[in-house]
């Protein structure tokens, strides 16, 4: 399907992006535009970790001769290095029922649509940098998992899994966070994509535990514009998509209190995470994907 206009895809609103096609196409278009718009490449190349010594052979680079070993043995040895990627990242995507909601379905994709496409774009940037990336999808429990690896095949596998994700069930982010903490054998980056309609204290504790273990943690709090402001109506019936509980309210009576409560809830997430070194970013699902990608790159710059 042809692109609607010549605008860079990373600057398009989600509704326009949704017209382009599947997850893979959208992610490619977004990443191409995003990287084109950067002043400098985020590519960091590989780091080298010492592995072992071997006997010197003619033609070996003299920079890697171990002179201490030469002093002890009067023989030349060359240091061998094992290439390792700069970063191992794991993306945690919330697929609970609330993620399948949109305040304006004809105009605005769901939070899960946004999370799937953002995760695909971020994964593509990671593998292009030579990093490894894994994926976990969760609601009450982890429902799908792709172990962290690098390369284009890995990206295609992640896209395939993302494309199949559907919203269902309640939310228990702390279980997914504890699951990934138990599986990680090496420090890396954990990225949480969720609307954070979760048990806040248990989730914060799990996030802090990951940080305590030495992992970098980045939280993207996805919010539909309709969650920030109540609709312009006299009365409204609200339904919890995860519990199906209903509440009839007079919108005029609670609009101001609701707005204040949302603002305070967002501020509390930030107050409780940032002092522990956890990056927290609110992402409005009506905004271009590039906003979240820029937040990731800021994090990446500090790790380089």
SS3 97: helix
SS3 content of the chain, % helix, strand, coil (to 5): 45, 25, 35
Mean pLDDT by 10 residues, the chain (304 residues): 63 92 94 79 46 74 83 84 68 96 92 98 92 94 94 95 95 90 89 96 95 94 90 64 69 76 95 95 95 87 70
239 by Cβ neighbours in 10 Å (0-12 / 13-18 / 19+) ranks as: exposed
- Cβ distance 116 to 73 under 8 Å? no
CA distances for 228 relative to 49, 83, 96, 125, 263, angstroms: 48, 47, 19, 30, 8
Going 121 to 123 to 99 to 291, the CA torsion angle's sign is: negative
Separation of alpha carbons 154 and 247, rounded Å? 44
SS3 154: helix
**String of DSSP letters for 99-144:** GG--SSTTTS--HHHHHHHHHHHHHHHHHHTT-EEEEEEESSSEEE
What pLDDT score does 251 carry? 65
What pLDDT score does 253 carry? 67
What pLDDT score does 1 carry? 44
User: Which residue segments constitute the domains of the chain, with CATH numbers given?
Assistant: 9-41+86-303 (3.40.50.410), 47-84 (no CATH)
**Span between the terminal Cα atoms of the chain, in Å:** 38
Separation of alpha carbons 304 and 301, rounded Å? 5
pTM, to two decimals: 0.80
β-pair partners for 109: none
């Amino acid at each position: 399907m042809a692109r609607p206009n010549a605008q860079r895809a990373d600057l398009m609103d989600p509704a326009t992006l949704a017209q382009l096609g599947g997850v893979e196409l959208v992610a490619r278009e977004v990443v191409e535009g995003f990287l084109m718009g950067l002043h400098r490449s985020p590519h960091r190349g590989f780091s080298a970790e010492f592995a072992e010594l071997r006997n010197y052979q003619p033609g070996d680079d003299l920079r890697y001769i171990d002179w201490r070993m030469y002093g002890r043995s009067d023989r030349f040895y060359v240091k061998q290095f094992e290439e390792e990627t700069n970063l191992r990242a794991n993306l945690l995507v919330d697929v609970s029922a609330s993620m399948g909601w949109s305040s304006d379905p004809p105009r605005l994709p769901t939070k899960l649509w946004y999370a799937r496409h953002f995760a695909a774009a971020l994964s593509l940037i990671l593998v292009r940098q030579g990093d490894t990336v894994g994926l976990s999808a969760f609601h009450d429990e982890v429902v799908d998992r792709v172990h962290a690896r690098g390369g284009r095949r890995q990206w295609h596998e992640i896209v395939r899994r993302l494309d199949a994700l559907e919203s269902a069930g309640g939310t228990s982010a702390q279980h997914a966070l504890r699951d990934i903490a138990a599986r990680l054998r090496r420090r890396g980056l954990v990225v949480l994509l969720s609307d954070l309609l979760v048990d806040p204290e248990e989730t914060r504790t799990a996030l802090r535990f990951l940080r305590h273990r030495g992992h970098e943690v980045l939280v993207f709090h996805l919010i539909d514009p309709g969650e920030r402001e109540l609709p312009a109506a006299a009365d409204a019936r609200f339904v919890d998509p995860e519990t199906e509980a209903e509440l009839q309210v007079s919108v005029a009576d609670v609009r101001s209190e609701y707005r204040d409560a949302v603002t305070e809830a967002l501020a509390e997430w930030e107050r409780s995470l940032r002092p522990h070194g956890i990056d927290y970013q609110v992402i409005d699902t009506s905004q271009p994907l590039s906003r979240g990608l820029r937040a990731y790159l800021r994090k990446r710059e500090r790790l380089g």
